[in-house]
């Protein structure tokens, strides 16, 4: 093998964090800093700081939070940003850069922009205390594909470096109104299908899922998280207590890197 070809092979190994399957490890030690990226909509507000506090207490490592919850709500929207197909170049460059540096990534993106026109998902009725128009498992196929693509791109941006990847799903803050309106069964089935879709997308890359849906609403999804103090006064978003509870559960999942 000539020297130029050999050097090229060595460079390939370095860039891909080891052609022999040895990823670059997470930073450790008193001077280590972990970057935590939170991608989601407003349902993840407060979570970044709460989870950073848990990590720092558990691991003795400084954590820098990069919160993309105000700007990246939908799976389709995140894909547009990661593909650079957005007028906000700063947002694209910032998200791409932060993901490439992130030791920890938490992802929840909603399915509003991931609709198959031949079989469109329509779960909007549940937010208005009505039965969903179309919320069967197969209506989430496009959403599953989009979320899988997001995970794939996140892993690609990490270039073989060890990373703690965590998927979360969506809690239900509307239980009492569903019961009053007689749509609890139909809307609970819809939320079950949404949670299953998040899980299926994460499982494609062996990414652990924290089901906030289960944690807030109980295993039968018949407990009102508002009565537990997990929902803010607006009746829709998580309270600081709800975010802290979620962060503690994420911490309890441990800190083993995800190996896709």
Alpha-carbon distance of 116 to 134, in angstroms, equals: 12
Helix, strand, or coil (residue 74)? strand
Return the pLDDT at 18.
44
Assess contact for 47 and 34: CB atoms under 8 A. Answer: no
Q: Residue 229: count other Cβ atoms within 10 Å of its Cβ.
A: 12
Q: One digit per residue, pLDDT tens: the chain, 260 residues?
A: 555 454 444 444 444 444 445 678 999 988 899 999 999 999 998 999 999 999 999 999 999 999 998 765 799 989 888 887 765 555 656 899 999 999 999 999 999 999 999 999 999 999 999 999 999 999 999 999 999 999 999 999 999 999 999 999 999 999 999 999 999 999 999 999 999 999 999 999 999 999 999 999 999 999 999 999 999 999 999 999 999 999 999 999 999 999 87
3-state SS assignment for residue 204: coil
List the end-to-end C-alpha distance of the chain, in Å, as a whole number.
32
Q: What does the block give as tokens for 16?
A: 């891909």
User: In angstroms, rounded to a whole number, what is the distance separating the alpha carbons of residues 61 and 33?
Assistant: 6
Domains annotated for the chain, with CATH where assigned, are 28-252 (3.40.50.1110)
């Amino acid at each position: 093998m000539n020297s130029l070809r050999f050097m090229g092979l060595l460079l390939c190994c370095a860039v891909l964090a080891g052609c022999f399957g040895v990823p670059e490890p997470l930073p450790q030690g008193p001077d280590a800093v972990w970057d935590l990226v939170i991608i989601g909509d407003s349902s993840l507000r407060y979570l970044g700081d709460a989870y950073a506090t848990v990590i720092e207490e558990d691991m003795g490592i400084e954590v820098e939070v990069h919160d993309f919850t105000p700007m990246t709500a939908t799976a389709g929207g995140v894909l547009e940003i990661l593909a650079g197909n957005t007028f906000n170049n700063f947002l694209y460059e910032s998200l791409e850069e932060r993901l490439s540096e992130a030791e920890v990534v938490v992802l929840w993106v909603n399915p509003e922009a991931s609709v198959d026109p031949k079989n469109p998902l329509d779960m909007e009725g549940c937010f208005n205390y009505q039965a969903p128009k179309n919320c069967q498992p197969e209506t989430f196929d496009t959403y599953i594909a989009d979320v899988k693509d997001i995970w794939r791109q996140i892993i690609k941006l990490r270039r073989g470096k060890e990373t703690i990847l965590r998927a979360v799903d969506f809690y239900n803050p509307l239980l009492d109104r569903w019961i009053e309106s007689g749509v609890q069964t139909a809307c609970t089935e819809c939320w079950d299908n949404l949670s299953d879709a998040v899980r299926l997308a994460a499982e494609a890359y062996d990414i652990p899922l924290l089901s906030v849906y289960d944690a807030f609403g109980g295993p039968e999804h018949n407990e009102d998280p508002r009565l537990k103090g997990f929902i803010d006064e607006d009746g829709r978003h998580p309270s600081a207590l709800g975010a802290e509870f979620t962060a503690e559960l994420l911490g309890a999942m441990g800190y083993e890197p995800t190996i896709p």
